[in-house]
Amino acid sequence: MIREEMIKQMEGERILLDAEWLEENDEEMIDWITSNKYWGRGYDRKPDPSEAIVEFKFDEGGVDYYADFEGNDSNDRWPSQNQPPWGEDTWEDWTVEEIEKYWKKL
């Protein structure tokens, strides 16, 4: 499948991934999230990186990232329900291999 077809199928979708999947498939992302100055901010403890949960929201322009951690007392399943995005990328920032990895996971 070509890049544009995968992107078109991903538009409007979102996925919630845990630290284990990210460590195996996108180590750069999990490192970026857990070293971010906002990681654990506002909580009594700094969560372990293995507790990370990252939401990816895909649209025609690219991807927005939202982060949370397992065990958070929030009742929201999706981090995007209670916070602004932690970051964003355009599709040009993603390689075909990266797009395919997330496309298959969806």
Domain carrying residue 12: 3-105
Q: Tokens 């990895």 correspond to what residue?
A: 101
* Count of domains forming the chain: 1
b/e per residue, 31-45, with b = 16+ CB within 10 A?
ebbbeeeebbeeeee
What's the pTM? 0.90
SS3 string of 47-65? Answer: CCHHHEEEEEEEECCEEEE
pLDDT tens, position by position, 50-102 = 999 999 999 999 999 999 988 766 556 788 888 899 999 999 999 999 999 99
Q: Give the per-residue pLDDT at 46.
A: 82
